[in-house]
Chains A and B, each alone.
Chain A
Amino acid sequence: MNTTVFSSPFNAEFDVNSQEFSLAGVIRPRSVDEIAASISVLKEAIDDVRGVLYINVKRLVQMNNTAFQAFARVVLDACRSRSDLSFVVVTSSVVGWTERMFRHLNRIEPRVTVEVYDSKFYPGQAFVEDTSFIPILRTQTKMTWRHERTILPRHGMRPGVVMADICCGIGDFAMLVKKEFQPTRIVALDHSKASLAYARDMAASFGIADIEYTYGDASEMLLEDNQFDLVTCRHSLQIFNRPTVLLKELYRICKPGGRVYITNEKNSHCLGEPRSKSIQWTYNEVAKLFSHFDMDVELGPKSRRYLVDAGFDDILMESFMVTNLDGDPQDFADVIAAWENVYAGEMAMKRGDPPEFMERFRQGFSDHIFAALHPKGYAGWPIWAASGRKPP
């Protein structure tokens, strides 16, 4: 049995399978009576479960003291009457006050503990939130922008749009968009504090003050529904282990009639001449390495399916190849060197790859660089750009 109480603008719900009671939205009642129905859901949940009851407040955007105390009361009373039961309050580091407030309950009743779910919430997180990932992002955007600046207008980019760049990384894309297309508003969200700090420093040093960089989980955003004309999410569905959940959030914050634009790769299709065999072998291995950590860097061509399944219409899809001939071949070589550093470094190490593998793995990157810098060479990195419209 699942019980849901909708009392706009908040939602209280109990899922018996996961033994989880969740509160979401804005809960600011004048008196406890107004939330009596939700309180009963919690009480019934307590009666139903054995062992542990999870209280999920990840998406609790606001709650006043009246509501806090009413829910706390029920939990504390249950601790006193049910010695078999314990509670885990699941908070997020994004809405920091929930952690601060709920943590006190543990001082009163040790059987109420607080967990911050997003300190470790997807397998690739440790790699992409590390500062060592920054050179990858910096060199990549420099190359992709040449293509995307002409692609974007076909996917809903125009001057004056209200937009969000979700999983913005170091925010360079947001800055380029700001300069080129003058949107009215840009929110840029990521869960990497290191990348956001870098983004803010860059913006400040270019005198750009009005990009709203914000820390958040793209799969549980605080942003309201139906807000943005254009939502971009680049190279990130392929990094997060639950792309469908992420896409659902992109859909939610997009205005009806607005568009969601995503770019993704198919790493095994990176190519180069000469030394194509070694290059191909390595990039096949890159795809396997990422999938070991639950990341699908082969997602690019699946974009259309993902967008259809998420409910978008008017889907547009195109691909482009970043190559060594786009500009200075050294820029292309820099991207590869940044990849090698993390993929054949931290990531392969974490997987526990043996030295023979590492050597061959690294060789493919070197050969790709060789091809890129070779006077008669050609090196490519294919990317799929796709967008869909949220039905009006």
Chain B
Amino acid sequence: MCAASKKPAEAAFAPLLQFEMDMGTFLSDWQHCDQLSTFMARMISHNRTDPIRHSNFFSFALNELLEISFRGGSPEGRIDCIVYRRDLMERVKLSFTCPSGQQEFYREAVSRTHQEDAFSRYLGAISTDQTPNREVILLDLAINFDADVRLEERAPASITFVVDLPLERAIN
């Protein structure tokens, strides 16, 4: 997607909530993923049509993204998460530091969520793998949560996911 066509759409998303944390602190406790996703989900869902169910869905998706950064992140630098809203859509922008050279890996995983064989890849993975890898998790979000997942290029040793979640429509 070219920068020119992206800008106006981005402008229409209004920021709702943000957290920023030292990666070292974030990585110190696995429970942070659950706690942050539960809290953020509650806060941003209060004025959705069905706050409780919206929060439940949103928390699922955000937790998976946080778990990815927990598993793949490196302890220097910061993790930064902003939730935006436009109409029926929430957007999560999540940046975290990771070992350099990882971008390519994420780029490929993200691009697979847009490919035609996404569903069969997903089925293949859940029918054979013991534990989910980053790719399956992104496929899960794309397939089961109708998420649109992209990467934004920023600093070399960091990853920025931009994930659009049309949960309001999916729930009601």
Show the binding face of A for B, using Cβ within 8 Å.
26, 28, 30-32, 61-62, 64-66, 68-70, 72-73, 76, 94-97, 100-101, 104-105, 107-108, 187, 196, 200, 209-210, 212-216, 222-223
Contacts and interface: CB of A to CB of B under 8 A. Distances in A.
Q: 10 smallest A-B Cβ distances: which pairs?
A: A65-B132, A214-B52, A108-B127, A30-B30, A100-B144, A212-B51, A69-B132, A28-B34, A214-B50, A65-B137
A68 B60 CA distance: 12
B63 A72 contact: no
A38 B130 CA distance: 16
Given A69-B131, A70-B131, A213 B50 contact: yes
25 contacts: A28-B67, A32-B130, A62-B56, A64-B67, A65-B64, A65-B140, A66-B131, A66-B132, A69-B126, A70-B131, A73-B129, A94-B53, A96-B53, A96-B57, A96-B170, A97-B57, A104-B126, A105-B126, A209-B47, A210-B46, A214-B52, A214-B53, A215-B50, A222-B52, A223-B52
B145 interface: yes
Nearest to A31: B131
Q: Which of A95, A212, A215 is the most central at the interface, judged by chain B CB atoms within 10 Å of its CB?
A: A212
A69 to B, nearest CB: 5
B63 A76 contact: no
B172 to A, nearest CB: 8
Contacts of A76: 127
Contacts of A62: 34, 56, 59-60, 63
B130 to A, nearest CB: 6
Nearest to A196: B50
A216 B52 contact: yes
A297 to B, nearest CB: 29
A222 B56 contact: yes
A29 B144 CA distance: 20
A101 B144 contact: yes
B136 interface: yes
Q: Which of A32, A104, A200 is the most central at the interface, judged by chain B CB atoms within 10 Å of its CB?
A: A104
A215 B53 contact: yes
Contact of B126 (A31, A108, A196): A108
Nearest to B120: A107
A222 B51 CA distance: 12
A31 B33 CA distance: 14
Interface in B121-158: 122-123, 126-127, 129-132, 136-137, 140, 144-145
Contacts of A70: 130-131
B123 A97 contact: no
A204 B21 CA distance: 38
B65 to A, nearest CB: 11
A137 to B, nearest CB: 19
Q: Which of B67, B127, B171 is the most central at the interface, judged by chain A CB atoms within 10 Å of its CB?
A: B127
B111 interface: no
B49 interface: yes
Interface string B32-62: 0110000000000011011111001101100
B77 to A, nearest CB: 22
Given A61-B56, A94-B53, A73 B130 contact: yes
A69 B126 CA distance: 6
B145 A97 contact: yes
A30 B31 CA distance: 9
Nearest to A103: B144
Given A97-B56, A209-B47, 8 more contacts: A26-B34, A66-B132, A73-B130, A97-B145, A101-B144, A104-B123, A187-B52, A212-B46
A85 B131 CA distance: 24
A105 B52 CA distance: 27
Contacts of A95: 53, 56
B57 A28 contact: no
Nearest to B51: A212
Q: Which of B59, B129, B140 is the most central at the interface, judged by chain A CB atoms within 10 Å of its CB?
A: B140
Contacts of A210: 46
B45 to A, nearest CB: 9
Nearest to B70: A30
